[in-house]
Amino acid sequence: MSPVLVSILGSAIKIAIAVGFSLNLGGLLTWLERRQMAMMQDRIGPHRADIKLGGKKFTFAGLLHPAADAVKFFFKEDFVPPNADKLLHSLAPMLALFPPLVLMGVVPMFDTVCPESLRNNLWHEIPRFGTCAMASTAKQLGPISGQVVDINVGILYVFALAGMGIVGATIAGWSSDNKFSLLGGLRAASQLVSYEVAMGISIVGAMMVYGSLRLDEMARWQGENTWGIWVQPLGFILFLTAAIAETKRTPFDLPEGESEIVAGYLVEYSGFKFAMFYTGEYIEIVISSALVTALYLGGYNIPFLHRDGITLSLGDDILWHKGLPHLVVILLQLGTFLGKVTVLCWAQIFIRWTLPRFRYDQLMKLGWRMLLPACLVNVFLTGIALLAFDRSSPATHDTFQVIGDALNWVVLAGMVFFPLWLVWGMFTPSSFISRRNELRGRRSAAAAAAVATEEASAH
Amino acid sequence: MPQPLVGKIQYDRVKGTPVARPRRTALEQAYVVEVVKGLGVTMRHFFKNTKSMFRGERPDAVKDPLSEGITTLAYPEQKKVYPPRFRGVHRLTLRNDGSPRCVACLCCSTACPAQCIYIEAGEYPDGDNRRGYERYPVKFVIDELRCIFCGYCVEACPCDAIRMDTGRHAVPYDSREQFIYGKAMLMSLESADGKQLAENPRHEPPDPTHPGIDRLKGAH
């Protein structure tokens, strides 16, 4: 195959993965959200839509509800208020859906692929360090990066496009010719502007540590050292908070308020235009999860999985090494990334259905008086720590490397044992667990009784 | 000239102890720890309920509606068990030969506070054993929309001819006419356990088992 064809094919596959994943997961999230909140609130959730196949009814655990929703949105009346600005009213949903769809383009989904090495042998292994050979002749295949677009100011592109979400909401609020819409649009605009400031500064600490604005280099740093959440714990919490606020969901769902401004800037939208806003919101969840993953949760990395295979180590001591083919490593990384994003979406739904919403003044207070100073403190502390680290002795560097590897071990243990524990819990009868808990309770009661008798005898 | 009241009213200063405000520690004010605690609560419910759904160990919503976990009732398929003395839609109990036990005495329609029962009494035809002893309802109409389900008609009935033990609640029809139950409709309804007769048997006057005085004994 010619190099041009390979690069076009690579881009097409990457676009298909990025857009297909975010659109499909966004659709699935509507189901997951309802079903999960039902489970959290001791209910069943949607489960009645069914199709008949061969005389039997199949509900697929309620998965047909999103499909039914989509059909409904298609056939509903597309209402435009009589005095509304028709052009802007139609433009707003596009502006709301567009940025989250293209944001996925800069998030690295796997490490750089070297097609040249795979030309002769599909199971070829490549060395851990060193980049792919650039195409020196016209016939050689150049490296394919893990992002759809390889921009060297990736994170700035993210902020630029995230800022466009405001435009969609504001235009929707203004063009609907409705007071509630206008108020909702205003609220959305001021909220998003406030939290974008905090979001932008919360990430500066991470940029200082990783030493790059490129998201793929950030992910690679985390693979070589340790996950960003360990070096930037405060930054992680601040960024996650700001990202949730950017998605306009509870506890930050002030642009909507049934008792105050009805549905905010969505009041006058129905049918497919509403569906575009709705989908955009869910894709925003996927995107914010992807960003948090890439910046703080190791991106596509599993601890100790490098470009050449698995290398278990602690500091400079290599405990075990197993080479893996390049293609297998890439696929593992892709699966890891998509899995992490899905789990983080799940966690975001948890946050959304657990926390009560803020009042509007509390929201602004939290944004400007708490998050922003905390972000600045984070930047300051990170700077001091980096300076101290740069001037410290090589022995200290080695100690930190050992600590980083130890944290990698913790993460690896969590990634292996948490799913195992979940599966074990699912397949163990409840009576077994309840009997174990009962035994534990009896033991602790006995211990408490022993303490009580000791105290009584002491008096 | 009336004195202006302004400035004359003496308001007492509000006396009392101030309400104790909950004291929050710095950890609670930091919000993050409390958020994690709250997530723990919802996660416990989530995993427990997901497991019970996955394993099919959900508590029986009909038999055990107050237990822990998911006790959602899938309504048209599952129904809540009504208490045994629940007053449902009326029915007219039958005799063994299938005719109504009602003797058209108008006790129920007299007792009815909502005045929703209309009875037109008629004599049994010539040759019928019961002619002269009792009458029968030519028409027996209940307006279920007017009915307040107080059960006085059941209390008033001397013949155990009207009962509210069908276990059916008022059905949502789409027109008022459908709520007006006629005699045939009321006679076709069954009790919750599927009976159309009453509990106690009725001994008709010509029967040998009839304990009371009848036409022959009374002809002295």
Q: Which residue has the tokens 């944001």?
A: A103
The CA distance from A214 to A154, in Å, is 5
Chain centroid to CA A32: 15
| A341 CB-near residues (< 8 Å, 6+ apart) | A21, A25, A286, A289, A290, A293
Chain segment A224-278, per-residue pLDDT in tens: 888 888 888 999 999 999 998 888 887 888 888 778 888 888 888 888 888 888 8
Torsion over CA: A286, A290, A293, A295 (sign) = negative
Neighbours of A234 (CB within 10 A): 15
Q: Quick one: A301 exposed, middle or buried, by C-beta within 10 A (0-12, 13-18, 19+)?
A: buried
The CA distance from A378 to A296, in Å, is 15
Chain segment A369-407, per-residue pLDDT in tens: 889 999 999 999 999 999 998 888 888 888 888 888 888
CB contact at 8 A, A405 and A320:
no
Per-residue pLDDT for A56 more than 90? no
CB contact at 8 A, B191 and B151:
no
Q: Among all residues of chain B, which has the CA nearest to that of A423?
A: B51
Phi and psi angles of residue B94, each rounded to the nearest 5 degrees, phi first: -115, 160
Model confidence pTM above 0.80: no
Q: Do B32 and A429 touch (CB under 8 A)?
A: no
Q: Which two tokens stand for residue B63?
A: 């038999």
How far apart are the two ends of chain B, measured CA to CA in Å? 97
Question: Over the range A69-107, which residues count as b (16 or more CB within 10 Å of their CB) and which as e?
Answer: beeebeeeeeebbeebbeeebebbbebbbbbbbbbbbbb
Question: Over the range A428-448, which residues count as b (16 or more CB within 10 Å of their CB) and which as e?
Answer: eeeeeeeeeeeeeeeeeeeee
- Chain B hits for A355, CB-CB cut-off 8 Å, are 35, 38
CA dihedral B90, B94, B100, B103 (to 10 degrees): -90
Tell me the C-alpha to C-alpha distance, in Å, between residue A266 and each of A68, A129, A219, A228.
21, 51, 37, 37
Q: Do A39 and B51 touch (CB under 8 A)?
A: no
Q: Which two tokens stand for residue A403?
A: 């600590």
Please name the member of B50, B55, B57 whose beta carbon is closest to the beta carbon of A39. Answer: B50
Tell me the C-alpha to C-alpha distance, in Å, between residue B203 and each of A261, A429, B98, B158, B187.
72, 60, 14, 14, 20
Question: Over the range A311-337, which residues count as b (16 or more CB within 10 Å of their CB) and which as e?
Answer: ebbeeeeeeeeeebbbeebbebbbebb
Per-residue pLDDT for A444 more than 80? no
Q: Do A354 and B45 touch (CB under 8 A)?
A: no
B208 pLDDT tier (thresholds 50, 70, 90): confident
Q: Do A41 and B45 touch (CB under 8 A)?
A: yes
* A425 lies within 8 A of chain B by CB: yes
Q: Do A350 and B42 touch (CB under 8 A)?
A: yes
Looking at every residue in chain B, the average pLDDT score rounds to 83
Q: What angle do CA A449, A455, A457 make, to 5 degrees?
A: 105
- For residue A251, say if its preceding peptide bond is cis, omega within 30 degrees of 0: yes
E strand segments, A116-194: none
The CA distance from A70 to B167, in Å, is 41
The CA distance from A291 to A299, in Å, is 8
Q: Do A39 and B45 touch (CB under 8 A)?
A: yes
Q: Do B55 and A430 touch (CB under 8 A)?
A: yes
Q: Which two tokens stand for residue A437?
A: 């808990």
Question: Which residues between 37 and 56 in chain B have a beta carbon less than 8 angstroms from any beta carbon of chain A?
Answer: 38-39, 41-43, 45-47, 49-55
Chain segment A300-334, per-residue pLDDT in tens: 888 888 888 888 888 777 888 888 888 888 898 99
Q: Which 3-state string (H, E, C) describes B45-66? A: HHHHHHHHHHHCCCCCCCCCCC
The CA distance from A96 to A84, in Å, is 18
ipTM comes to 0.81
% pLDDT > 70, chain B: 92
CA dihedral A346, A349, A350, A354 (to 10 degrees): 180
Task: Report the interhelical angle of A271-296 vs A326-354 (nearest 10°).
Answer: 120
Q: Give residue B116's pLDDT.
A: 92
The CA distance from B147 to B113, in Å, is 9
% pLDDT > 70, chain A: 95
Q: Which two tokens stand for residue B202?
A: 């009725």
Q: Give residue B111's pLDDT.
A: 93
* B62 lies within 8 A of chain A by CB: no
CB contact at 8 A, B107 and B158:
yes
Report which of residues A121 and A156 the model is more confident about: A156
Q: In what order do the strands lie in the sheet with A305-306?
A: A305-306, A309-314, A317-323
Chain segment A84-141, per-residue pLDDT in tens: 888 888 888 988 888 888 888 888 888 888 877 777 777 777 777 766 665 566 667 7
What is the least distance, in Å, from the CA of B124 to any CA of chain A? Answer: 54
Task: Report the interhelical angle of A64-75 vs A271-296 (nearest 10°).
Answer: 140
CB pairs under 8 A between A and B: 52
* A354 lies within 8 A of chain B by CB: yes
Please name the member of B46, B55, B57 whose beta carbon is closest to the beta carbon of A39. Answer: B46
Total residues found in chain A within this entry = 459
